[in-house]
Structure 1
Amino acid sequence: MSSEGGQKDQEVTMVDVLQEEQEREQDANAVLGGSDDQHCTYSSGYVPRQALYLCTTCVATQGENQTPAGICLACSYKCHEGHDLVELYTKRAFRCDCGNSKFEHKCRLEPEKEAFNEKNSYNQNFKGVYCTCARPYPDPDDDVEDEMIQCIICEDWYHTRHLGEGVSVPSEFSEMICGCCMGKTPLLASYVNNTAEVVADCPLKAADAPEVKSVTTFWPDGWRSRLCKCEDCHVKYKELKIEYLCEESDMVQEYEKQGLNQPTQYEQGLQALGNMDRSQQIEVLTEYAQMKEELKSFLATFAEENKVVTEEDIKEFFDGLKARKRRRVDGSDLLA
């Protein structure tokens, strides 16, 4: 795409597309945290942290018959393909509900499950809404661009503009605790000064914690390691059911690292190509060249109309490419 008036020509090359695909896959890997897409996590019990989904096709999410339930990644593929799914990002200490008494069908991967997972915790996200505004995400009726941040205690997500009056998001922080959860955990007030800023040195004993204000707080890197670990505080953590705050492994950042350590399909493809014999390599490279020509023709239409290529356009191209390849494999093109 190009234009006159001193603007530099802009074009999307094959390298740009592959790089963009790789970056998108890395983002997805971070969210999935190395989750298994073939086996239900039910047999692993209450998994410390995993990606979860809400199936609105199978479970009522509105009205009097609200039945909150979460399913793991593998079940979203194997048991709920083609259904309407809501991504819940990650939740801690959760056991997959797919196929239990909340569903009309059994899980295809783990047919025998208990009727309920009694230790599961369900917030309003399992009804498809978020934040103090209790709206879906993305919200079709909200045209305001706003970042959403997850509270590490209730694990709900909040628009930055709904975090409380006068609350400003710092340029750098590690984790956030919403005002409601701060009000329920007075022990944490030992680490916060009168301006709701987190202090790093010398926490008070839990029994001496000052009166806490229900105000959103943002916590810096390494703050969990500075939590008081005395016996009194451990008792308080247990009473408040926040023992996990003492564990760095509970952090979403640590979970995401597991996924980022996974090789992308692009990297796996390069490795697989190196393991092929000469004839197989030629076949793969021929398909690659064909894809490159198709992409070139696809991008040419944007150049002719002087239109900018968006991420959605590239996704549409690859989705179409995959569909055409499936038709070639099953022979449906030959029957058309």
Structure 2
Amino acid sequence: MDNLTAEDYLNQQTALEEEAKELMPWDPKTCTYSIGPLKQQVYACLTHDNIGICYSCSIRCHTSCEIVELFTKRHFTCDCGTEKDKRIDSKSSNSKCEIRQNKECDIAAVDNIYGHNFQGLFCDCSKEYDPESPSVMIQCIMGLACGEDWYHDHCIMGYTDEELKDVARKSEDDKSENSPDGFPSLESFDSFICWKCVSRYNYYFQKIMSNELANDIISCTIDHDKSSHFINEHGKREKIDSDIQFSIFLKEDYGNGLEKLKDSITDHKDKLYIFLTELVPFLIKDEDLYEPPTEEDDSILDIISKSLSSSMTTSDIVLGTTALNKLQSKLKEFLKPFAEKGEVVKEEDISSFFHSSN
């Protein structure tokens, strides 16, 4: 640090900016509420009644809230600035959503589906996401019964956390995954439909599995047989009189296989045809994922670099650590209001800062 130059400082900022771009790759200036229901990145605000908000509002409007990333959800409308958003009850600002600048609460979507993911909980075990867990988590591609939930590999197989201690895992030579024995390799399938969705629509999946095109669609199935038992007061498992539930793992090109199957049904009043065309058309052709616009303006680092080269001499640029630390501290204070208001920092703003700092 004693020999840190302006060039070193800017290189460090470049690395930090690249890391920030990976975490927040889009320009947070568009709230998706006005666009309507979309397949989009959704975030749950645990601070304000577990509402669902879009990418931009998670950054601009709910900055100080406890946010949980839910990844993608289909047909979801942002709740920010609507009657569901409890944040606006105590807001001093006249705008209900900082991006839309609406003065009155908008009407919340009536067809949003809120599962336990919006409480920060995932899987059939209803636990928070643990990045340190060795278990692989997979999202149900269908989601009509489970709300597009995410599941641990061992929970898909019906094992509890306690039982998992005695379950053999795949060879440690395979560094790419650490799933229990019997769980399909991650490279062997493209998508997954949980046992809850399969059970609810069992009639249709039995039709699909018995069709000659099933080999083009289904990679394998995994029984969730532990779910057909329960623990009695003596700590023993007892069989419940029910069919064994199972999950389905789909092949890479399953959409084309399902489309061929659908096209082979000549009777358009057939239940399976209606199921494929009206209830789960996204299994044949997935919906486009909405992505916010990318940042088109110069980055803050680019602007700073230009200002340095234009307003500071060569001798100034090679100042020591003390001067750079002071400059960095002042710069952070200068940029803080822009960050809090979500405003774009323009080149003339940074130029003015460096001129005033001379």
Same fold (TM over 0.5): yes
Distance 1:130 1:282, change over 3 A: same
Secondary structure of the residue aligned to 1:199 is helix
1:323 Cα offset (Å): 6.5
Distance 2:313 2:129 in 1: 41
Distance 1:125 1:229, change over 3 A: same
Secondary structure of the residue aligned to 1:217 is strand
Distance 1:323 1:94, change over 3 A: farther
Distance 1:27 1:146, change over 3 A: farther
Partner of 2:55: 73
1:20 Cα offset (Å): 8.7
Superposed CA RMSD in Å reads 4.5
Corresponding position: 1:45 with 2:45: no
1:43 Cα offset (Å): 0.9
Aligned letter for 2:45? C
Distance 1:238 1:249, change over 3 A: closer
1:162 Cα offset (Å): 1.0
Distance 1:156 1:237 in 2: 21
Runs of 5+ consecutive residues of structure 2 not aligned to the other structure:
1-9, 89-95, 159-180, 219-242, 322-326, 337-352
Question: Contact (CA 8 Å) 1:151, 1:177: kept in 2 or not?
Answer: yes
What TM-score, normalized by structure 1, do the two folds share?
A: 0.59
Partner of 1:184: 200
1:122 Cα offset (Å): 1.5
1:98 Cα offset (Å): 1.4
Aligned letter for 1:72? C
1:247 Cα offset (Å): 1.6
Q: 1:237 aligns with which of 270, 276, 279?
A: 276
1:327 Cα offset (Å): 2.7
How many residues end up aligned between the 2 structures? 254
Distance 1:290 1:135, change over 3 A: farther
Q: 1:218 aligns with which of 249, 264, 281?
A: 249
Partner of 1:101: 83
Secondary structure of the residue aligned to 1:216 is strand
Identity percentage of aligned residues: 27
Distance 1:138 1:323, change over 3 A: farther
Distance 1:263 1:147 in 2: 33
Question: Contact (CA 8 Å) 1:101, 1:115: kept in 2 or not?
Answer: yes
Q: Which structure 2 residues correspond to residues 130-169 of structure 1 after superposition, within 5 A? A: 130-138=122-130, 144-154=133-143, 155-165=148-158, 168-169=183-184
Distance 1:85 1:176, change over 3 A: same
Question: Contact (CA 8 Å) 2:140, 2:193: kept in 1 or not?
Answer: yes
Question: Contact (CA 8 Å) 1:55, 1:86: kept in 2 or not?
Answer: yes
Aligned letter for 1:156? D
1:299-324, Cα deviation, whole Å (9 max, x unpaired): xxxxxxxxxxxxxxxxxxxxxx9766
Distance 1:264 1:169, change over 3 A: farther
Question: Contact (CA 8 Å) 2:46, 2:118: kept in 1 or not?
Answer: no
1:24 Cα offset (Å): 6.8
Partner of 2:115: 123
Runs of 5+ consecutive residues of structure 1 not aligned to the other structure:
1-13, 60-67, 203-211, 295-320
1:111 Cα offset (Å): 4.2
Secondary structure of the residue aligned to 2:51 is coil
Q: Which structure 2 residues correspond to residues 1-336 of structure 1 after superposition, within 5 A? A: 22=18, 25-26=21-22, 28-29=24-25, 37-47=28-38, 49-59=39-49, 68-104=50-86, 105=88, 106-108=96-98, 109=100, 110-138=102-130, 144-154=133-143, 155-165=148-158, 168-172=183-187, 173-186=189-202, 187-192=204-209, 199-200=215-216, 214-227=245-258, 228-230=261-263, 231=268, 232=270, 233-237=272-276, 241-250=279-288, 255=289, 281=309, 325-327=331-333
Question: Contact (CA 8 Å) 1:234, 1:243: kept in 2 or not?
Answer: no
Question: Contact (CA 8 Å) 2:190, 2:251: kept in 1 or not?
Answer: yes
Aligned letter for 1:171? L
Distance 1:83 1:19, change over 3 A: closer
Question: Contact (CA 8 Å) 1:191, 1:199: kept in 2 or not?
Answer: no
Distance 1:15 1:178, change over 3 A: farther
